Structure 1
Amino acid sequence: MFIGLTDEQEMLRETMRRLADASATSDPDDIASDERLVTQWERLVEVGVPALRAPATCGLESSGVETALAVEELGRRLTAIPVLGQAVLTTELLYAAGAEKEVDLVAEGALRMAPVLTDDLTGFADSDDHGVVLDAAGASHALLALSDGDRRRLVYAAIDTAAAREGLDLTRSISPISVSDLGATTSVGDPIDARRWDSVMAMALTAVAADLVGVMTGALDDAVGYAGERVQFGVKIGSFQAVQHLLADSLVRLEGARSCLWHASWAVDHLPPGEALLAARTAKAYASAAGRDVVEAAMQVLGGISITWEHIAHLRLRRTLLNRRLFGDESDQYQAIADMRLTDPNLG
C-alpha cells in the first residue's frame, strides 16, 4: 500500500512552509509583536487555515490531514501565530455545535475566539471555575464547552487579552480567567453529544501531536546542520559515530511520530469517533515521548549554546514541554488507551 500526500496537499504544505518561514521565531526578543501578529493572522486567514475543519465553509471533503500539515509546518518554525487555539480548536468546537454563522466569521477573520482549558491544561474547561485561555493573543472572546449532562454546550464571552501572559512556552500567550467572573455569556450552536465530542477530542489531540512533530522536525534539522559545520579536534562533529547514532535515533523517533500523526489525522474524518480517538491518543502519546527525547538530543548536539537565551533551541524545548502537557502527556494517554481497549476489546 502506498501512503502519501496528494498534489493539492503537497501544494498546501509548500504554501504553509513559505508562510512559516516568513513568520518564524528566531529568538526570544524576536517573538512577534502584537502588530506583527495581526498581519500574520490575516495571512493565515487568506490561506484558509481557520476553515480547514469546517468542510461546508472550505469546500473540502476531509480536512484532518490538511490541518495537521498546516500546524506541523508552523510548529517547525516556532511561529507565534495562535493557530492551534484560534484556528483549529475553536473552529472544531463551533463546527461540532453547528454554529455555521460563527464558523464563517472565524474563517473570514471577523471573529477571533480562543478556547478555555482547565488550569492543568489537560482538557477543555467544563464548569464555572478557573481556567486558562489558550492562544489568547489577539482574541476578542473566550469560548467554553460547559458540561450539560453527557453533552457539551458552547458559550462565549468577551475578554481583555491585555492580561495575557507568557508561560513556559514563550511563543504562546495564555490568559488565566475565572469563568464565574466573566461578563455576559452567549450560547452558541447546539449541544455537542458524547459521540461528536469524541471527534472533537480526536482532532484536538491530533493537532497538538502535529505541533510536536513540527517542533521535532525543526530541532533535528538544526542539529544536523550544526553537526555538519561544527569543527572539534580538527574534524566536523558529524563524523563522530556517537553523534551520528544520536541523530539517526532521533530521525527514527520523528518518523514514527509522523506516521502515527498521519494515521490519526486521516482517521478523524474516515473512522468512527471511538477509533479516531484511539488513533489520536496513540499519536499524542508517541509524539509527547518522542518530542522530549528528540528535542533534548538536538540540544546535546548543539552543546552549551542551546541553553542560552539567545538560541532558539530552548524555545523549542519549552514549546515541546507545554505541548506534551496539553490534553494529557503520554502517561495519561496510555491509561486512556488501556481503559478504551478494556471497555471495548474490539476497538481498533
Structure 2
Amino acid sequence: MHIGLTAEQEMLRDTTARLATSMATDNADDVASGDRLDGQWRRIVDLGLPALRAPESCGLDASGVEIALALEELGRALTAVPVLGQAVLTTELLHAAGADKEVELVAEGTLRMAPVLAGDLADFADSVDNGIAVDTAGATSVLFAVRDGDNRRLTSAALTAAVSDAGLDLTRSVRTVAADELDSATPLGDPISADRWMSVQALALTAVAADLVGVMAGALDDAVRYAGERVQFGVKIGTFQAVQHLLADSLVRMEGARSCVWHAAWAVDHLPADQALLAARTAKAYASASGRDVVETAMQVLGGISITWEHAAHLRLRRTLLNRRLFGDESVQYAAIADMRLTDRELS
C-alpha cells in the first residue's frame, strides 16, 4: 500500500511552512502579541485555515489531513497564533452543532472564540461553572460544550477582560474562566449527538498530536544542525556515534508519530466515529510519549544553551508538556484504548 499526499496537500503544506517560518518564535522575548499577533491571525484567515473543518465554507472536501499538515508546520516554527483553539477546535464544535452563521464569522476572522476545557485539561468542559480556556489570545468570547444527557450543547459567553494567565507554554495563551466573570451565556446551534461528539473528540486529539509532531520536528532540526556545527575535542559532535544514535532514534519516533497522526486525520473523515476515535487516541498516546523523549533528547544534544532565555529549545519543551496534557496524556489514552477494545468486540 502506498500512502502519500496529493499535489494539493503538498502545496498547502509548503505554503503553510513558508507562512509559519515568517511567524516563527525564536526565543522567549520573540513571542508575538498585540497588534503583531493580530496581523498574524489575519494571515492565517487569508490562508483559509479556519474554514478547513467546515467544507461548506470553503467548497472543499473533508479536511482532517489538511488540518494535521497545517498544524504540524505551525508547531514546527513555534508560532504563537491561536490556530489550534480558535481556528480548529472552535470551528469543529460549531460545525458539529450546525451553527453555520458562527462558522462563517470564524472563517472570515471576525469571530474569535476560545474553547473551554475542564480543569484537568483532559476533555472539553461540560458545564459553564468554570474551566480553562485555551488559545485565548485575541478572543472576545469563550465556547463551552455543555453536557445534556448523551448530547452536548454549545454555549458561548463574552469575556469580561482579555487577560491571559501566565502558563507553562509561553507560545499559547490560556486563562481560567468562572461563571461569575462571564456575561450571560448564549446557546448556539443544535445538540451534538453522541456519535458526532466522538468525531469531535477524534479531531481534537488528532490536532494536538499533529502540533506535537511539529514541535518534535523543529526540535530535531535544531539538534541535527547544532550537531553538525558544534566542535568538541577538535571534531564535530555529530561524528560521535552516541549522538548519532540518539538523533536517529528520535527521527524514528517522530516519523512513527507522524504516521499515526496522518492515519488518525484521515480516519476522522472516512471511518466510523468509534474507529476514528480509537485511531486518534493511538496517535495522541504515541505523540505524547515520543514528543517528551524527542524534545528532551534534542535539549541534551544542544547542551547548556537549550535552557537559556535566548534559545527556543525550552519553549519547545514547554509546548510539548502542555500538549501532552491536553485531552489526556499517554497514560489516559492507554486506559481509554483498553476500555474501548475490551467493551467493543469489533474494535478488539
TM-score per shorter chain, which class?
Answer: over 0.9
Structure 1 unaligned segments of length 5 or more: list them.
none
In structure 2, give the amino acid aligned to 1:146.
V
Report matched runs for 1:94-133 at 5 Å.
94-133=94-133
| 1:288 aligned onto 2:263 | no
Structure 2 unaligned segments of length 5 or more: list them.
none
* Other-structure match for 1:252: 252
SS state at 2:115 partner: strand
SS state at 1:166 partner: coil
How far does residue 59 in structure 1 lie from its aligned partner after superposition? 1.3
How far does residue 147 in structure 1 lie from its aligned partner after superposition? 0.5
SS state at 2:162 partner: helix
| % identity of equivalent residues | 73
In structure 1, give the amino acid aligned to 2:109.
G
* Other-structure match for 2:346: 346
- Cα offsets for 1:301-336 (capped at 9, x unmatched): 000110111110000000000000000000000000
How far does residue 161 in structure 1 lie from its aligned partner after superposition? 4.7
* Other-structure match for 2:30: 30
Residues 314/172 of structure 1: CA separation in 2 closer, same or farther (3 Å cut): same
Distance 1:236 1:251 in 2: 20
Distance 2:270 2:208 in 1: 19
Residues 288/316 of structure 1: CA separation in 2 closer, same or farther (3 Å cut): same
State the TM-score, normalized to the length of structure 1. 0.99
Structure 1 residue ranges (4+ consecutive) displaced by more than 4 angstroms after TM superposition: none
- Asked if structure 2 preserves the Cα contact closer than 8 Å seen for 1:170 and 1:318, the reply is yes
| 1:271 aligned onto 2:271 | yes
In structure 2, give the amino acid aligned to 1:156.
S
Distance 2:110 2:179 in 1: 24
* Other-structure match for 1:320: 320
Report matched runs for 1:332-343 at 5 Å.
332-343=332-343
* Other-structure match for 2:304: 304
- Asked if structure 2 preserves the Cα contact closer than 8 Å seen for 1:264 and 1:276, the reply is yes
Distance 1:281 1:10 in 2: 26
| 1:186 aligned onto 2:186 | yes
Report matched runs for 1:189-228 at 5 Å.
189-228=189-228
* Other-structure match for 2:171: 171
How many residues in Structure 1 have an aligned counterpart in Structure 2?
348
Distance 2:104 2:162 in 1: 26
How far does residue 339 in structure 1 lie from its aligned partner after superposition? 0.4
How far does residue 180 in structure 1 lie from its aligned partner after superposition? 5.1
* Other-structure match for 2:52: 52
- Cα offsets for 1:91-117 (capped at 9, x unmatched): 000000000110000000111111011
SS state at 1:189 partner: strand
